[in-house]
Structure 1
Amino acid sequence: MVRTIRVLLADDQALVRGAMAALLNLERDLEVVAELPDGTGVLDAVLEHAVDVCVLDIQMPGMDGIEAAATVRAGAPGCRTLMVTTFGRTGYLRRALEAGASGFVVKDTPASQLAEAIRKVHAGLRVVDPQLAAESLAEGSNPLSEREREVLALARDGLPVASIAARVHLSAGTVRNHLSAAIGKTGAANRIAAAKTAAERGWL
C-alpha cells in the first residue's frame, strides 16, 4: 500500500492555489490537506493536519514563504518545505535554503515535476531548479549585511534617514554609513535604486 504524502499549499493567488491542489490531488500518493492564502497560519495547520510537506509561495502578504519556512523548521522539524515562486531570483534561493527549505522550484514547473519534487523533499532530498542553482553559483552570495538589508528595506519605503534611524535604534550617521555601503555593493546611484536592485536580486 502506497503511503499518502500529506501536503499543505500556501499561495495568495486563489486560482493558482486551487489549480495546484486539483493537479496534486490527481496523484495517487499525494493529498492536499490544507490550503492557505499566506504564511501566517502555516505552522498551526502543519500541526493540526499532520502535514508532511509544505508547498509555499515566496511572496505573500502578511508572512511570506521564507518566514513561514523558518517557523515550520522551528516548530515542526519533521515537516519539509518546498518553495514555489514566479520569480527565479537567486537571492530568494539562498534565503529560502537558509530558512530551512528543502527545495525551490519556479511556478511554471509542470505538475508532474512538482509532484516529483514533493516526493523527493519528503524522502529527505534537496530539490533546486537547475537553472536557478547555476545562476546562484555564478552570482555568489548576498553581499549585504543584516543591518544593510534592514535599512535598505526601510529606505525602499521612502523613509528619511532620521525616521529609519529611529526605527532601527541607530544614529543617523550610522544609518547613512549602512546605506552608503549598500549603494556601493549594489552599484546603484542612490538608496532608492539600491533598494530596487537588491529587491530584484532577492537580497531583501
Structure 2
Amino acid sequence: MTTIYLAEDQEMLNTALKTILNLEDNFEVIGSSLTGAAALQEILQLAPDVAILDIEMPDMTGLEIAAQLRILKRPVKIVILTTFAKESYFQQALSSEVNAYLLKDSPSEVLIQSVNRVLAGDTIFSPELVRSVLKAEKNPLTKREMEILKVIQTGANTAQIAQQVFLSEGTVRNYISSILSKTATKSRIEAINVAMANGWLG
C-alpha cells in the first residue's frame, strides 16, 4: 500500500483529491493539511511514501516544504501541483529535486499515473508547464531598473526612491519612464503587476 500525504489550501479541492486518491486500491491518504507549516510537521511525523504539495499555501509554500524535506534527507517522493507557470518556481522545483511538477487542472488520471511513475523512479514535468515557462516573457529591465521597481513596490514616492538608491529625482523619473516603456504600462502599479505576473520580482 502506497501512503500519501496531501497539502492543498483549497478545502474543496483537498477533499476531492483525497477521495480520488483513496479510490485507488494501492493508495491510502494518511494525512492532509490546508497550510504549509502543518503539512511539513505532519509529513515528518507520518513519513508517507508520497507527498502531494500545492505551491502556494499559508505559512509555507510547497516548494519550501520540498526544500526542507531534501535538506533533512527524507526519502519521500514529492509531487508539486500548481496553477502557476513562473520560471522562478520551476527553478526552485528543479533545485529541490521534486519528482513531479504538474498542473492542477490535469485530469485525475494524470495525477494517479504520475504517483505510480515517481514510485517507479521516474521524474515528471508537465509538458504544458515546461512550454509555458519557456515562453515566459524575458525580463527586459536592467539591474538598476529592477532595483528601482522593487523600491516602488514598497509604496515609496519619487523623492524616497531617489534617497534609497542614491540618485537624483530627475534620474529616478527617467528610470521610471524607461520601466513603463519596457513593460508597456501607464502606471507604476501596472508595471509592478506585469513584473509580478512574469516572476521578475521573485
TM-score, length basis structure 2: 0.74
Once the 2 structures are TM-superposed, how far is the Cα of residue 149 of structure 1 from its aligned partner? Answer: 8.1
Matched residue type, 1:187: T
**1:22 corresponding residue in structure 2:** 19
Alignment check: 8 A CA contact 2:85 2:132 kept: no
Once the 2 structures are TM-superposed, how far is the Cα of residue 87 of structure 1 from its aligned partner? Answer: 3.1
**Aligned residue pair count:** 191
**2:4 corresponding residue in structure 1:** 7
Alignment check: 8 A CA contact 1:66 1:95 kept: yes
- Could you say if the C-alpha distance between residues 112 and 70 of structure 1 is closer, same or farther in structure 2, counting changes exceeding 3 Å? same
**2:122 corresponding residue in structure 1:** 125
Instruction: Indicate which of 71, 81, 84 corresponds to 1:84.
Output: 81
Once the 2 structures are TM-superposed, how far is the Cα of residue 127 of structure 1 from its aligned partner? Answer: 0.9
Q: Is 1:38 aligned with 2:38?
A: no
Alignment check: 8 A CA contact 2:52 2:80 kept: yes
User: In the aligned structure 2, how far is the partner of 1:8 from the partner of 1:150?
Assistant: 40
CA displacement 1:92-144 (0-9 Å, x = unmatched): 32332233322111111111110111122233321111122123234487789
User: In the aligned structure 1, how far is the partner of 2:13 from the partner of 2:100?
Assistant: 19
Matched residue type, 1:159: G
Q: What secondary structure is seen at the aligned counterpart in 2 of 1:28? A: coil
Q: Is 1:95 aligned with 2:87?
A: no
**1:67 corresponding residue in structure 2:** 64
Q: What secondary structure is seen at the aligned counterpart in 2 of 1:63? A: coil
Q: Tell which structure's C-alpha radius of gyration is larger.
A: 2
Matched residue type, 1:160: A
TM-score, length basis structure 1: 0.74
- Could you say if the C-alpha distance between residues 174 and 13 of structure 1 is closer, same or farther in structure 2, counting changes exceeding 3 Å? farther
Q: What secondary structure is seen at the aligned counterpart in 2 of 1:81? A: strand
CA displacement 1:161-199 (0-9 Å, x = unmatched): 79x99xxxxx811798xx97xx49x73656533432232
**1:172 corresponding residue in structure 2:** 164
Q: Is 1:57 aligned with 2:54?
A: yes
Once the 2 structures are TM-superposed, how far is the Cα of residue 70 of structure 1 from its aligned partner? Answer: 1.2
Q: Which ranges of structure 2 fall in alignment gaps of 5 or more residues?
A: none
- Could you say if the C-alpha distance between residues 9 and 26 of structure 1 is closer, same or farther in structure 2, counting changes exceeding 3 Å? same
Q: Which ranges of structure 1 fall in alignment gaps of 5 or more residues?
A: 166-170
Instruction: Indicate which of 111, 126, 139 corresponds to 2:108.
Output: 111
Q: Is 1:159 aligned with 2:155?
A: yes
Alignment check: 8 A CA contact 1:39 1:65 kept: yes
User: In the aligned structure 1, how far is the partner of 2:52 from the partner of 2:141?
Assistant: 28
User: In the aligned structure 2, how far is the partner of 1:150 from the partner of 1:119?
Assistant: 45
Cα RMSD after superposing both structures: 3.6
- Could you say if the C-alpha distance between residues 18 and 89 of structure 1 is closer, same or farther in structure 2, counting changes exceeding 3 Å? same
